[in-house]
Amino acid sequence: MFESEDGLKINANVLEQLQEWNLIPCEGQYLCARGHPLKLLECTASSDGFVWRCRKISKSGKQVRTCNQQISLRKNTFFDRSRLSMVKLIAFSYFWLKNVTQDFIIEELSITRPTAVDWCNFCREVVYDGMVVKGRKIGGVGSIVEIDESKFGRRKYHRGHAVEGQWVFGGVERGTNKCFLVPVEKRDKETLLAVIKNWILPNTTIVSDFWKAYDCLSDEGYVHFKVNHSVNFKDPETQQHTNTIEGFWRHVKYPMPQYHRNKKFFSGYLAKFMFVRHCKHAGLDPLSNFFKLAGALYNPLNPYMPEEAEDFEIEVMEEE
């Protein structure tokens, strides 16, 4: 199916689905430069199969004219960031959410590696926006959140430089599995407290290890318990434990690629983990919820202006 570009045009059903996800506007919402409502029309000349066109008729004296302004279906949408067909981009996003290898995607969709790298970046940007930038705090009165820090990657040598692993600070709400994951440069009180306040609601019960940075938590509006770290440990007095987050780290690290790239990649990777986990525990379909997030970020009626793509080739850390 993906070997030929023919037959990859979207049809009216897909179009309706894209509108439902807010990836493209509905008729009546979108106006031409002269302020007339645009209509979605089939167009064989366009690679997407449809275009927006203004059919407004104006009369002046005996002259009758059609406005005829035309806008590409993908203008200012998520799909505007690529020249691949929309069908391939939808398929790519599906594979990406399934955590298959990049090589698999490249082969199945007959695309180049730079194209695959770019679209991975755009997908990570979508889940980062949905899960982190617009993320919701976890915890609250009566909720227990276990927190911990974990180092990803060991000391590596790359082109003669020692590259340290990356510390990640995380929290999991017991029972609901809601979580947050934030790469941190330091594990001092200022850094960790800022993340805690950003991600955990006041009055939450927080369970941590004895790391000194956490000593302030009971003065910062939280109920705080400290326990020894190790799976299956329960404090004999308080019955508190951090078994949830201890097991959680294994899940976060398991699908981690063999090499990690720069910080932005890392944040995106963690956001994807949070997103897939959120869908699983809330019983949501990852693909439609991914596109809803994409539609919330890329709104053609209020265009999103992404920063220029960053260089993703710095600080490559390879497994020895």
Our CB check for Zn ion shows the closer of 28 and 114 to be 28
Closest-CA residue to 150 (of 257, 253, 272, 265): 253
Taking CB under 5 A as the criterion, the residue among 8, 43, 67, 193 binding Zn ion is 67
CB of 36 to Zn ion, least distance (A): 3
Site string for Zn ion, 35-64 (x = CB under 5 A): -x-----------------x-x--------
Q: DSSP for 55-98, please give it.
A: --EEEETTEEEE---EEETTTTSGGGG--S-HHHHHHHHHHHHT
Our CB check for Zn ion shows the closer of 55 and 137 to be 55
* Measured distance CA(293)–CA(272) in Å, rounded: 12
**Span interacting with Zn ion, options 14-22, 34-42, 226-234, 256-264, rule CB under 5 A:** 34-42
Alpha-carbon distance values, 194 to 4, 67, 180, 201 (Å): 51, 54, 13, 12
CB of 303 to Zn ion, least distance (A): 19
Q: Does 187 bind Zn ion (CB under 5 A)?
A: no
Sheet of 39-42: strands edge to edge? 39-42, 50-53, 70-72
Residues in the chain: 320
Our CB check for Zn ion shows the closer of 68 and 198 to be 68
* Measured distance CA(212)–CA(218) in Å, rounded: 13
**Span interacting with Zn ion, options 27-35, 96-104, 142-150, 160-168, rule CB under 5 A:** 27-35
CB of 39 to Zn ion, least distance (A): 10
Residue ranges in contact with Zn ion by CB under 5 A: 32, 34, 36, 54, 56, 67, 69
